[in-house]
């Protein structure tokens, strides 16, 4: 009898894994977007600035670096809350922490602090990170560039 894993080629498993990771990364971007206060105003007359390749790579590196911390914080908070629903946590809104137990609040604050540092360590300001995140929502070309950068950064050296 064949195993389920035998039904998929290595290539298709890798593609599924990459697509799953990309979706997780985009979810992380959504969380981080809420983490920083946004002061952007859309002006229909003014096009958004074009993001260069260095910024795209920095953005992708920040997202990849944040993902394990986000997953870890989520799992720790989930353990503390049990079967209860985890409220939406917005790093720049301390009221969003109010529904959490004290220990879970500490975990959320720690994650938010770490996420802010990761963005800065990857050479982006909070404004740059947020602008890219906003642009991703409506710009399929940028979405593809970030996706390609995420894939490239995740490749092992021997597969490059």
pLDDT digit string, tens, across residues 24-81: 555 555 555 554 444 344 444 445 456 899 999 999 999 999 999 989 999 999 998 8
Judge whether 81 and 101 are in contact, CB under 8 Å: yes
Write down the pLDDT at residue 15. Answer: 54
Judge whether 119 and 62 are in contact, CB under 8 Å: yes
pLDDT digit string, tens, across residues 101-158: 899 999 999 998 898 899 999 999 877 887 898 899 999 999 999 999 999 999 866 5
Question: Which of the four pLDDT bands, split at 50, 70 and 90, describes residue 87?
Answer: confident
Domain ranges (residues) in the chain? 10-36+49-154
The whole-model pTM stands at 0.63
The secondary structure element, H or E, covering residue 109 is helix 102-121
């Amino acid at each position: 009898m064949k195993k389920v894993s035998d039904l998929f080629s290595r290539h298709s498993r890798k593609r599924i894994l990459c697509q799953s990771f990309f979706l997780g990364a985009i979810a992380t971007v959504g969380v981080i977007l809420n983490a920083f206060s946004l002061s952007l105003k859309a002006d229909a007359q003014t096009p958004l600035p074009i993001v260069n390749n260095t910024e795209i790579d920095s953005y992708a590196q920040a997202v990849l670096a944040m993902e394990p911390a986000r997953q870890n914080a989520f799992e720790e908070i989930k353990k503390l809350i049990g079967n209860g629903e985890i409220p939406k946590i917005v790093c720049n809104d301390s009221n969003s922490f109010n529904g959490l137990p004290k220990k879970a609040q500490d975990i959320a604050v720690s994650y938010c602090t770490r996420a802010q540092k990761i963005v800065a360590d990857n050479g982006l300001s909070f404004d740059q990170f947020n602008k890219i995140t906003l642009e991703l929502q409506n710009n399929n070309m940028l979405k593809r560039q970030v996706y390609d950068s995420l894939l490239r950064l995740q490749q092992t050296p021997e597969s490059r």
